[in-house]
Structure 1
Amino acid sequence: MSFVRRNTVLSARPGRPLAQPAPASEKQQLAPGIRPSPLDGRPTTSTGTSSLDQLLAGHGGLPLGNCLLVEEQGTTDFSGVLLRYYAAEGLVQGHHVHLVGYPPEWRHQLPGVAAPDSESKAAQPAPAPEEKMKIAWRYEALGNKATPGAAARGDTNQATFCHSFDLTKRLPPSASKGSLHPTPSTCPPTFDQPSQAATSPFKTIIKHLQTKLSASSPTDIHRIIIPSLLLPSLYAPQCAQPSEVLQFLHSLRALLRQYPTQLTAIITLPTTLYPRSSGLIRWIELLSDGVIELIPLPANPGAPPPSSGSGSKSGGADKSDQAQGLLYVHTLPVYHEKGGGGAGASSFRETLSFSLSASRGLVIKPYSLPPMEGEEEAEKSSASKGKEGIEF
């Protein structure tokens, strides 16, 4: 029976030096706005909405090489706000943003970067070391906006993973480090212009994207924005044919798989015109890596105004937190045995809501019913009566 000495490397051959790890300077640096997933290390980028990043299967962002389908009911444009944040985040980070359907003047509608509120941060006391939650190191950076290792490199401008935007401001050209690439138009031809039925707008767009991607550097990051897919005012009637749109999504999926470390895409779809019960929309969902649905809540015009006094203050403070719609998660990107934990694990089992404000953007959180009128006053009165009846 033979024995092996301890502290002996079995795979090493005598007289052959061991491989030394590469120094930190020679390691590949990630592009701005890219950080590894805390679950499996795949590169991820931010959608521009922090709450949506935390929802995507616990990866802390949208993994590269994947697309997200955002469905919306009604005539609201909450999904369009998500696209503006997604495009603005890409331009601020220095990415290439490819716009489908809209003209290049759409960039003037992008929100500007919000100014840091130093006063509010200074007013809040710093948490004590004992109060800090002790969690695994790979989940500790999820809530932070800085990429891991950015502080060690001394890079402050590129350390922000997800910026905060203000809808009341507009993104100036000086803050845009990236470039916006409008694709060939998909609008239906007018009566003055002859119809070009032989050429498909979707095929022209795919060729345009292939040319841009093949000519770019391997370190460049690209984002594709496809707003209101199959909307008659943006797309020609032939685009609504299943043979056209499904072939376009197949080609887009092939580009995402061909450039798994450079390309992401977000598609919005109006389900009021194309309901989820149709077979075409089911196929579109199968060709998308992630599918979420926005259902705006109807406004209540007959609701009484908030009462004066202390009740008006609480009502005004809670107005910004009031849910404006429901959010359902149908599919999450990269949800498998290695990735798919964190906040995304519970998103299938609970009902989520969203609210939109100019300063905080679109915030996604669990939905809870508001308290009924007079319920808080009844609880306070019952508590006060209980205290008065107690004698010591």
Structure 2
Amino acid sequence: MSSFVKTSSIRNSINGTKLKNNLPYISSGIPSLDFVIGGGVPAGSIFTIEEDVLGSYSRVLSKYFLAEGVVCKHDLFIASADEDPKMIVQELPQPCATQSHEDKKQVAEGEMKIAWRYESLGQIESSFGSNTNFGHHFDLSKTVEAQTISDCNITFCHLTQELSEVKVFKNPMYHQLLSSIKKVISKEDYMAGNKNNNILRIVIQSLGSPVWFAKECDEDVIDNSYGTDILKFMYCLRALLRDTLAVALVTLPSHLFDDEHLMKRLQYSIDNAVRLESFAGSSKETNPVYNEYHGLFHIEKLSAVHCLVPYVPPSLDLAFKLKRKKFVIEKLHLPPELQESSEREQDDITATPKTTTCGGFKKKDIDF
């Protein structure tokens, strides 16, 4: 019992973490995202994001994840083959201490518009995690100062094509990335039980994108190896992160994968998985039903670390919208059908009784 209390006190003393099921959890930087996945991201886990078509919203989630690490003074590891990782940290949002003026204005307007007879009923919580004390709120319109970024312990890994023979992977870039992560994670600071523990946040941007394949490679070799290399890499990464204080956030351009069953196979080696469906370029962009949102938020898998069953959110019909200052995940509320249509006219005809009322008026003639 004494050893259990000692381990819990050490893990709980890490800045920016909370203890759940004797396991430290960290915030993703977005309170609404922490709420729908069960209170945060557990240490030693892999969190994957299936990118939207343009990849713009997945980059926002990565910036939130890194910005939360900067505020909590966590160590960062950033890897990318599409661009220089040093350019990513230059666009991190700045934390805001208090609730924004727009949020307070929306709450005030909501209280004024609600009818008096419904005030006693509980309101539906559209935006999750607005009242939580875990994590921080950020302002996307402002960026973190360069001096603050330079004071953080950040490891950059810009992946490049190197002609080297690796027996495990056909693409040497996976071996290069795995070796870099293993070199950093082998430090004692990320091993449970050490007094000077700290969290390591790993961000891998666009894993398996077309940039990962060399131009000199044969197309047949690429088609037969890209899925196998990603599966091997994920299993090796999971083995490295287990029983450590490191958390990996991996974005995947799943819409570019030819194998439709690849993501289902990858879910066996990951803990949390979400998918972003953007309305940009689709018919839903002009649909008035979705005019308040920018896309749908799909939960593919939730973690069940140190527990029997995973957390189940109150609603799986989720949507997201990117405001000027923040990214919000809400319940998908469809507006009522206010316009006249053929279906509504048919419903009115079937609902109208043949006999008239005592006043001689039919139901469809009454206008409220």
Q: CA deviation at 1:257?
A: 0.8
Q: CA deviation at 1:207?
A: 2.1
| Residue of structure 2 equivalent to 1:326 | 296
1:152-167 correspondence to structure 2 within 5 Å: 161-167=134-140
Counterpart of 1:99, as a letter, is: I
| Residue of structure 2 equivalent to 1:356 | 322
Counterpart of 1:360, as a letter, is: K
| Residue of structure 2 equivalent to 1:137 | none
Counterpart of 1:214, as a letter, is: S
| Residue of structure 1 equivalent to 2:64 | 85
| Residue of structure 2 equivalent to 1:66 | 45
User: How has the CA–CA distance of structure 1 residues 118 and 253 changed in structure 2, closer, same or farther, with 3 Å as cutoff?
Assistant: closer
Counterpart of 1:30, as a letter, is: S
CA RMSD of aligned residues (A): 3.8
| Residue of structure 1 equivalent to 2:211 | 233
What is the aligned counterpart of 1:224 among 202, 207, 211?
Answer: 202
User: How has the CA–CA distance of structure 1 residues 386 and 36 changed in structure 2, closer, same or farther, with 3 Å as cutoff?
Assistant: farther
| Conservation of the 8 A alpha-carbon contact between 2:32 and 2:130 | no
User: How has the CA–CA distance of structure 1 residues 36 and 369 changed in structure 2, closer, same or farther, with 3 Å as cutoff?
Assistant: same
For residues 314 and 287 of structure 2, what CA distance do their matches in structure 1 show? 33
Counterpart of 1:197, as a letter, is: S
Gapped regions of structure 2 (runs ≥ 5): 109-119, 123-128, 167-171, 345-362
| Conservation of the 8 A alpha-carbon contact between 2:53 and 2:278 | yes
| Residue of structure 2 equivalent to 1:106 | 88
For residues 121 and 283 of structure 1, what CA distance do their matches in structure 2 show? 41
| Conservation of the 8 A alpha-carbon contact between 1:276 and 1:282 | no
| Residue of structure 2 equivalent to 1:191 | none
Q: TM-score w.r.t. structure 2 length? A: 0.69
Match of 1:86, SS state, is helix
User: How has the CA–CA distance of structure 1 residues 214 and 45 changed in structure 2, closer, same or farther, with 3 Å as cutoff?
Assistant: same
Q: CA deviation at 1:268?
A: 1.0
For the pair 1:246 / 2:231, whether they are aligned, the reply is yes
User: How has the CA–CA distance of structure 1 residues 62 and 371 changed in structure 2, closer, same or farther, with 3 Å as cutoff?
Assistant: same
Q: TM-score w.r.t. structure 1 length? A: 0.65
Q: CA deviation at 1:145?
A: 4.2
For residues 71 and 50 of structure 1, what CA distance do their matches in structure 2 show? 20
Counterpart of 1:358, as a letter, is: R
Structure 1 residues 203-212 or 228-237, which shifts more? 228-237
User: How has the CA–CA distance of structure 1 residues 337 and 106 changed in structure 2, closer, same or farther, with 3 Å as cutoff?
Assistant: closer
Q: CA deviation at 1:244?
A: 2.8
For residues 121 and 272 of structure 1, what CA distance do their matches in structure 2 show? 34
Match of 1:241, SS state, is helix
For residues 91 and 249 of structure 1, what CA distance do their matches in structure 2 show? 26
For residues 333 and 299 of structure 1, what CA distance do their matches in structure 2 show? 33
User: How has the CA–CA distance of structure 1 residues 284 and 121 changed in structure 2, closer, same or farther, with 3 Å as cutoff?
Assistant: closer
Gapped regions of structure 1 (runs ≥ 5): 1-17, 126-130, 134-141, 147-160, 189-194, 305-317, 388-392
Counterpart of 1:105, as a letter, is: M
